[in-house]
Chains A and B, each alone.
Chain A
């Protein structure tokens, strides 16, 4: 982590057919850092990965690798310091072993070393038995493993992954993510992964950059993005289901009191008294009790509906405004629809977004 960042994006602009698909004033990825690019389809994640991988020439701006801006002459040398895993594995019509060896062969690595490293990588990804199989005859999960092995065998300084698992079923995806995470951590490989899945991003990355319509709307530590979204879009995208417009009633230092559905809640903010703000509360940060256990931060509510998910229960409440609560575990039966409950929200779990009026 000395000197220049491993990847430095400056004033980057990518235009396609007149439309600007990417505009990034600045983004840095430090050596050894794991960054997730999060956003919906078409937000520009893939374009940004391609630009970082030096696979497209931007309309404007630069991308520096370890402080150097590649030129047309030495671009291959720079590409050889990175690996890219694409959403579609694009395996060559050859054997699995040939596929994994491809990058090493391009680099002119001696045959014996290629064989050793390929064998090692195949075994690390648990696909040694597929070595001589045609790459065209693999399941989706197998193909993804070959694609990963092909990238990791190069031991790159930078690992770029463009929605590497999005076409796989969830169990396979989780298994692969769990395999890959220690690999990049253990080698301090600078990693950028794009995903549209918040839970993948938050479980994998140190930092998350949220993209929307070709622009970065928030780049912060993963947990900060999760709990302190920059705007309504990010809030929705990172799983903050409760976004309620409220009015700041009172302020003392950095503690404000807000009126929400007739009840008073406290939160940390520097919002001005009288202003309208967006209150963000993650559904899993809300506690339900049948009787009021205090005065502050408790809302009276009526249960509208309950829905059981695999590991939690979604309870929708009406407390003057709709409120969504996730209750973990299944030890007790959920409250029946129509019953009255109390919802408690701690001040630290409330995030206020001061929004421009029109948005």
Chain B
């Protein structure tokens, strides 16, 4: 009980005092997860829309794969990405293992199926008649896809939130491919694990609160955008 209280007090001092290390770790978390989400959204929205609009043999299996992958365990992703990026791995020559770039890759791989799956659902819930209406108005295929994506924008915002939430709170993969290196790849989640193993529970709690606040702030921001859109 004392420990939790101490942690909250510590959190307060660290946050209010804008502790340099906390700020740095938080900013890096935001930068990495933000970039990863951006990458995942660009690729996931494309893939999800494509899956929603095309019929081909094996599509069912692919959709099933996406839905399964939405629950990919982060450590499995981490292991896979690490194996790829290690010096001995097929992409080792890129030399990005234990860099933020590697963490972006891992988090993007993690968020990609989430964004894809939600996009797929969002586009599919638009009635088929709507698609015909758009084509009937003289849209090219590209124009139609654009209209559909805009039509589904409220749900796509949910995809962004889910993707970011998955990325920023993920730990296993980031630790494996990033290494929790101070000043380079140390982010909120890996710091929390490290501080816990070092017995600095107060700092760990403080960082946990920061992580929670960051995730909440982003979600609240996007939800407000979403709700304003809806009210319009």
Direct touching of A and B (C-beta under 8 Å): yes
- Which chain A residues have a beta carbon within 8 Å of chain B's beta carbons? 50, 53, 55, 76, 79-80, 82-84, 86, 88, 90, 92-94, 102-103, 106-107, 134, 150, 154
> Whole-angstrom distance from the CB of B93 to the nearest CB of chain A?
43
- Which chain B residues have a beta carbon within 8 Å of chain A's beta carbons? 127, 129-130, 132-140, 143, 147, 150-151, 232
Report the nearest B residue to A76, measured CB to CB.
B140
Alpha-carbon distance A251/B164, docked complex (angstroms): 87
Q: With A50-B132, A55-B132 known to touch, is A90 a contact of B138 (CB < 8 Å)? A: no
Alpha-carbon distance A88/B133, docked complex (angstroms): 9
**By the criterion CB–CB under 8 Å, are B151 and A92 in contact?**
yes
11 contacts between A and B (CB under 8 A): A53-B136, A79-B138, A80-B138, A84-B133, A84-B137, A86-B133, A92-B151, A102-B134, A106-B138, A134-B232, A154-B138
Instruction: Give chain A residues whose Cβ lies under 8 Å from the Cβ of B127.
Output: 88, 90
Q: With A92-B147, A134-B232 known to touch, is A86 a contact of B137 (CB < 8 Å)? A: no
> Whole-angstrom distance from the CB of B7 to the nearest CB of chain A?
45
Report the nearest B residue to A90, measured CB to CB.
B133
Report the nearest A residue to B151, measured CB to CB.
A93
Report the nearest B residue to A93, measured CB to CB.
B151
The 6 closest A-B pairs by CB, nearest first: A84-B136, A80-B138, A90-B133, A103-B137, A90-B130, A106-B138
> Whole-angstrom distance from the CB of A308 to the nearest CB of chain B?
41
Instruction: Give chain B residues whose Cβ lies under 8 Å from the Cβ of A106.
Output: 137-140, 143
Alpha-carbon distance A90/B143, docked complex (angstroms): 16
Q: With A50-B132, A92-B147, A92-B151 known to touch, is A102 a contact of B232 (CB < 8 Å)? A: no
Instruction: Give chain A residues whose Cβ lies under 8 Å from the Cβ of B135.
Output: 55, 79
**By the criterion CB–CB under 8 Å, are B129 and A88 in contact?**
yes
Given contact pairs A86-B136, A90-B129, a sample of 12 additional A-B residue pairs in the complex whose CB atoms are under 8 Å apart: A55-B136, A76-B139, A79-B138, A84-B133, A84-B137, A93-B150, A94-B150, A102-B134, A106-B137, A106-B138, A106-B139, A154-B137
Instruction: Give chain B residues whose Cβ lies under 8 Å from the Cβ of A93.
Output: 150-151
**By the criterion CB–CB under 8 Å, are A86 and B138 in contact?**
no
Instruction: Give chain B residues whose Cβ lies under 8 Å from the Cβ of A90.
Output: 127, 129-130, 133
Instruction: Give chain A residues whose Cβ lies under 8 Å from the Cβ of B232.
Output: 134
**By the criterion CB–CB under 8 Å, are B138 and A76 in contact?**
yes
Contact partner of B137 (CB less than 8 A), chosen from A50, A94, A150, is A150
Instruction: Give chain A residues whose Cβ lies under 8 Å from the Cβ of B147.
Output: 92, 102
Alpha-carbon distance A225/B133, docked complex (angstroms): 32
Report the nearest B residue to A107, measured CB to CB.
B138
> Whole-angstrom distance from the CB of A133 to the nearest CB of chain B?
10
**By the criterion CB–CB under 8 Å, are B140 and A86 in contact?**
no
Alpha-carbon distance A188/B108, docked complex (angstroms): 57
Alpha-carbon distance A90/B135, docked complex (angstroms): 12
Q: With A90-B129, A90-B130, A92-B151 known to touch, is A83 a contact of B139 (CB < 8 Å)? A: no
Instruction: Give chain B residues whose Cβ lies under 8 Å from the Cβ of A154.
Output: 137-138
Alpha-carbon distance A70/B215, docked complex (angstroms): 53
Report the nearest A residue to B127, measured CB to CB.
A90
Alpha-carbon distance A107/B137, docked complex (angstroms): 9
Instruction: Give chain A residues whose Cβ lies under 8 Å from the Cβ of B130.
Output: 90
Instruction: Give chain B residues whose Cβ lies under 8 Å from the Cβ of A134.
Output: 232
Report the nearest B residue to A94, measured CB to CB.
B150
**By the criterion CB–CB under 8 Å, are A86 and B132 in contact?**
yes
Alpha-carbon distance A50/B129, docked complex (angstroms): 11
Instruction: Give chain B residues whose Cβ lies under 8 Å from the Cβ of A103.
Output: 137-138
Report the nearest A residue to B147, measured CB to CB.
A92
Which of A53, A76, A93, A107 has the most CB atoms of chain B within a 10 A radius of its CB? Answer: A93
Alpha-carbon distance A94/B186, docked complex (angstroms): 44
> Whole-angstrom distance from the CB of B145 to the nearest CB of chain A?
12
> Whole-angstrom distance from the CB of B146 to the nearest CB of chain A?
10
Alpha-carbon distance A80/B134, docked complex (angstroms): 11
Alpha-carbon distance A80/B139, docked complex (angstroms): 8
Alpha-carbon distance A92/B133, docked complex (angstroms): 10
Instruction: Give chain B residues whose Cβ lies under 8 Å from the Cβ of A92.
Output: 147, 150-151
Alpha-carbon distance A94/B138, docked complex (angstroms): 18
> Whole-angstrom distance from the CB of B9 to the nearest CB of chain A?
48
> Whole-angstrom distance from the CB of A49 to the nearest CB of chain B?
10
**By the criterion CB–CB under 8 Å, are A79 and B151 in contact?**
no
Instruction: Give chain A residues whose Cβ lies under 8 Å from the Cβ of B150.
Output: 92-94
Instruction: Give chain A residues whose Cβ lies under 8 Å from the Cβ of B137.
Output: 83-84, 102-103, 106, 150, 154
Report the nearest A residue to B140, measured CB to CB.
A76
Alpha-carbon distance A134/B151, docked complex (angstroms): 13
Alpha-carbon distance A50/B131, docked complex (angstroms): 12
**By the criterion CB–CB under 8 Å, are A83 and B136 in contact?**
yes
> Whole-angstrom distance from the CB of A73 to the nearest CB of chain B?
12
Alpha-carbon distance A83/B150, docked complex (angstroms): 22
Report the nearest B residue to A78, measured CB to CB.
B138
Instruction: Give chain B residues whose Cβ lies under 8 Å from the Cβ of A55.
Output: 132, 135-136
Instruction: Give chain B residues whose Cβ lies under 8 Å from the Cβ of A50.
Output: 132
> Whole-angstrom distance from the CB of B44 to the nearest CB of chain A?
21
> Whole-angstrom distance from the CB of A105 to the nearest CB of chain B?
8
